[in-house]
């Protein structure tokens, strides 16, 4: 087994240098925005994520070490295996990320990353503290190990994937050449992902290759006449790291405690964020449907559909 | 990162870098606090955040840190709060606010919301605060 470096550890000085550069660029041009309270919250969440990774990482490591013996193949360490593993890991990332937005149990963890109303390089580092406890790695991390890719290789390409995603958290980079925008996840595509405008909600889940979104119908181009508004549907209004970390978990506990049946409890726990038994709260699907209905009415096309059944938001082709 | 000494050094370095970046952000400035001085703009912000919210009568706090906007049909109360350079919005139906009370020109709100348990809107004077307290009393369980 080759001695693989930790890409994230190597990248940290580069991250710091790029954040300083973006802050200076923001000050000089106004093309990005930073606010000390928000910056502090994002960076403290990032540091906490590293600490929790060290403290709780053994849970995932123990799982992968356990399942490694059931691998279908022994793929080994050939150069091409790294390339294949990187692409397949990104495919798995797409689905893992998509489920992180559509299952409240996993959203409670991932919402941390979306909780800033700013969008700059520090937002990339705003990461959850309790990720290993959600057990998402069992559902999405096991596939490549069971196929036969070495655990260390899967961890290595996963770290490369995360390092790639750092630079796309910026407003300073406009759209890139067409072929890059077609294949790769870019700042433009990821701005859409972080935006709460109804047309942008729950779109562009990709990590490195945006082709997954194009393939599975979740792609949305950044529109010139629809400026991204960043954050979450119900913004927090606080930079307190503990509130940022725990707020959705607290919400789940409160809702489940108040549930009137097992079905309701399961809905609050594993349903989409914003789910409620009577539909009185707004999930992304409901917001998008209301918005589509409103757009249709504004355009004189009727707009009589029920919110749940309304057509999905238009997906302009690139 | 198996070696505890290396781990401690990495964490110490990261903590220093974090402190340095926050300090640098403070030093170079470039942000300004959000100011809510136009009820129409506050209503527009609510309409952006809550699909279908039709802004009606509104008022901004004297310090520009809060705005109250009733929906045109009176169904919902919208609250816009300045938080740093950004604004945060909430919309309530009757009975969804825990409590509203008046303290001179200030209106104090309490919510069952882990991320926003309370808010204060300092109106222009006692009379305006009282007028709004009575207008929005039905949105609170206690008033």
Of A34, A50, A233, the CB nearest to B14: A50
For chain B, counts of helices (H) and of strands (E)? 3, 8
Q: Which two tokens stand for residue A71?
A: 């691998």
Lowest mean per-residue pLDDT among A142-156, B6-20, B22-36, B71-85: B6-20
Same domain, A202 and A298: no
Residues 59-118 of chain B whose Cβ lies under 8 A from any Cβ of chain A: 81, 83-86, 88-90, 114-116
Residue that terminates a domain, selected from A189, A216, A243: A216
Same domain, B48 and B25: no
Please report which confidence band the pLDDT of residue B30 belongs to, taking 50, 70 and 90 as the band edges: confident
CB burial of A66-92 (b: ≥16 within 10 Å; e: otherwise) equals: eeeeebeeebeeeeebbebbbebbbbb
In a domain, A162, yes or no: yes
Q: How far is CA A126 from CA A116, A183, B102, B113, in A?
A: 8, 26, 38, 22
Same domain, B24 and B44: no
pLDDT of residue B20: 97
Give A261→chain B minimum CA distance, Å.
22
Collapsed DSSP state (helix, strand, coil) of residue A20: helix
Does B89 contact A24 at a Cβ distance shorter than 8 Å?
no
Does A35 contact B86 at a Cβ distance shorter than 8 Å?
yes
In a domain, A241, yes or no: no
> How far apart (Å, rounded) are the C-alpha atoms in residues A162 and A177?
23
Same domain, B43 and B26: no
Residue that terminates a domain, selected from A216, A232, A264: A216
Residue of A nearest to B91 (CA): A234
Could you give the number of structural domains in chain A?
Answer: 2
Q: Which residue has the tokens 């996840």?
A: A185
| Chain A residues within an 8 Å CB radius of B48 | 229
Same domain, B79 and B12: no
Same domain, B16 and B53: no
pLDDT of residue A301: 58
Please give the radius of gyration of chain B, using alpha carbons only, rounded to the nearest integer.
20
Same domain, B43 and B105: yes
In a domain, A82, yes or no: yes
Collapsed DSSP state (helix, strand, coil) of residue B90: strand
Could you give the number of structural domains in chain B?
Answer: 2
| Chain B residues within an 8 Å CB radius of A246 | 114
Does B21 contact A122 at a Cβ distance shorter than 8 Å?
yes
Same domain, B63 and B91: yes
Q: Yes or no: say if A22 and A32 are a contact pair by the CB < 8 Å rule.
A: yes
Range of the domain at A183: 7-216
Residue of B nearest to A253 (CA): B114
Question: Could you give the strand order of the β-sheet that contains B140-142, starting from the edge strand earlier in sequence?
Answer: B118-122, B106-110, B97-103, B140-142
Same domain, A35 and A128: yes
Same domain, B11 and B60: no
Residue A318: how many other CB atoms lie within 10 Å: 14
| Chain B residues within an 8 Å CB radius of A290 | 51-52
Counting Cβ atoms within 10 Å, is residue A162 exposed (0-12), middle (13-18) or buried (19+)? Answer: middle
In a domain, A111, yes or no: yes
Counting Cβ atoms within 10 Å, is residue B43 exposed (0-12), middle (13-18) or buried (19+)? Answer: buried
Q: Say which CATH number the domain at B51 has.
A: 2.30.29
> How far apart (Å, rounded) are the C-alpha atoms in residues A23 and A12?
17
Same domain, A160 and A293: no
Q: Yes or no: say if B123 and B107 are a contact pair by the CB < 8 Å rule.
A: yes
Same domain, B74 and B46: yes
* Dihedral in degrees, nearest 10, Cα atoms B106, B110, B114, B119: -10
Same domain, B2 and B57: no
Read off φ and ψ for residue B108, nearest 5 degrees: -110, 130
Same domain, A311 and A204: no
pLDDT of residue A305: 41
Q: Yes or no: say if A222 and A185 are a contact pair by the CB < 8 Å rule.
A: no
- DSSP secondary structure string for all residues of A23-87: HHHHHHH-SS---HHHHHHHHHHHHHHHHHHHHHHHHHHHHHHHHGGG-S----S-HHHHHHHHH
Q: How far is CA B109 from CA B10, B72, B81, B119, in A?
A: 44, 22, 12, 5
Kind of pairing between the strands at B77-83 and B86-92? antiparallel
Same domain, B12 and B53: no
Range of the domain at B5: 1-30
Q: What is the mean pLDDT of chain B?
A: 93
Collapsed DSSP state (helix, strand, coil) of residue B58: strand
Q: What is the 3-state secondary structure (H, E, C) of A286-316?
A: HHHHHHHHHHHHHCCCCCCCCHHHCCCCCCC
* Closest among A68, A44, A214 to A147, alpha carbons compared: A68
Give Cα A22 distance to the centre of its chain: 22
Same domain, A32 and A149: yes
Average pLDDT over residues B25-34: 92
Q: Yes or no: say if A165 and A207 are a contact pair by the CB < 8 Å rule.
A: yes
Q: What is the pLDDT along chain A (318 residues), one digit of tens a residue?
A: 788 998 988 999 999 999 999 999 999 999 899 999 999 999 999 999 989 998 998 999 999 999 999 999 999 999 999 999 999 999 999 999 999 999 999 999 999 999 999 999 999 999 999 999 999 999 999 999 999 999 999 999 999 999 999 999 999 999 999 999 999 999 999 999 999 999 999 999 999 999 999 999 999 999 999 999 999 999 998 999 999 999 999 999 999 999 999 999 999 999 999 999 998 899 999 999 999 999 998 888 554 444 333 334 434 333
In a domain, A106, yes or no: yes
Of B1, B18, B52, the CB nearest to A47: B18
Same domain, B74 and B10: no
């Amino acid at each position: 087994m080759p001695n693989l470096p930790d890409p994230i550890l190597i990248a940290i000085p580069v991250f710091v240098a790029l954040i300083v550069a973006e802050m200076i660029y923001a000050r000089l041009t106004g093309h990005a925005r930073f606010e000390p309270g928000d910056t502090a919250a994002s960076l403290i969440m990032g540091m906490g994520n590293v600490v929790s990774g060290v403290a709780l990482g053994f849970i995932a490591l123990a799982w992968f070490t356990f399942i490694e013996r059931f691998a279908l193949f022994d793929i080994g360490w050939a150069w091409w295996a790294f390339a294949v593993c990187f692409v397949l890991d990104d495919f798995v990332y797409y689905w893992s990320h998509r489920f992180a937005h559509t299952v409240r149990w996993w959203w409670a963890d991932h919402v941390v990353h979306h909780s800033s109303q700013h969008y700059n390089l520090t937002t990339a580092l705003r990461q959850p503290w309790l990720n290993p406890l959600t057990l998402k790695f069992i559902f999405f991390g096991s596939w490549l190990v069971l196929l036969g890719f070495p655990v260390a290789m899967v961890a290595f390409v996963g770290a490369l994937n995360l390092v790639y995603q750092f630079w796309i958290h910026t407003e300073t980079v406009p759209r890139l050449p067409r072929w890059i925008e077609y294949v790769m996840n870019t700042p433009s595509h990821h701005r859409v992902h972080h935006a709460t405008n109804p047309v942008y909600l729950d779109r562009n889940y990709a990590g490195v290759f945006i082709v997954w979104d194009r393939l599975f119908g979740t792609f949305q181009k950044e529109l010139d006449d629809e400026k991204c508004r960043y954050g979450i549907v119900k913004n927090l209004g606080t930079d307190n790291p503990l509130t940022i970390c725990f707020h959705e978990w607290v919400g789940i506990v409160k809702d489940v405690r108040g549930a009137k049946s097992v079905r309701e409890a399961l809905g609050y726990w594993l349903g989409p964020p914003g789910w409620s038994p009577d539909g009185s709260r707004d999930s992304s699907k409901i917001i998008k449907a209301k918005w589509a209905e409103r757009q249709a009415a504004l355009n004189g096309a009727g707009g009589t559909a029920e919110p749940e059944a309304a057509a999905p938001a238009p997906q302009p082709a690139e | 990162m198996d070696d505890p000494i290396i781990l401690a050094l990495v964490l110490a370095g990261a903590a220093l870098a974090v402190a340095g970046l926050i300090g640098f952000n403070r030093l170079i400035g470039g942000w300004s606090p959000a100011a809510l001085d136009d009820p129409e703009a506050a209503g527009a912000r609510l309409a952006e955040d809550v699909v279908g919210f039709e802004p009606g009568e509104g008022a901004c706090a004297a310090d520009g840190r809060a705005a109250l906007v009733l929906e045109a049909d009176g169904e919902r109360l919208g609250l816009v709060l300045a938080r740093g350079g950004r604004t945060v919005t909430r919309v309530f139906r009757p009975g969804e606010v825990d409590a509203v009370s008046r303290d001179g020109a200030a209106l104090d709100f309490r919510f069952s919301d882990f991320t926003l348990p309370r808010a204060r809107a300092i109106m222009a004077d006692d009379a305006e605060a009282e007028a709004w307290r009575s207008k929005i009393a039905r949105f609170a369980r206690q008033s």
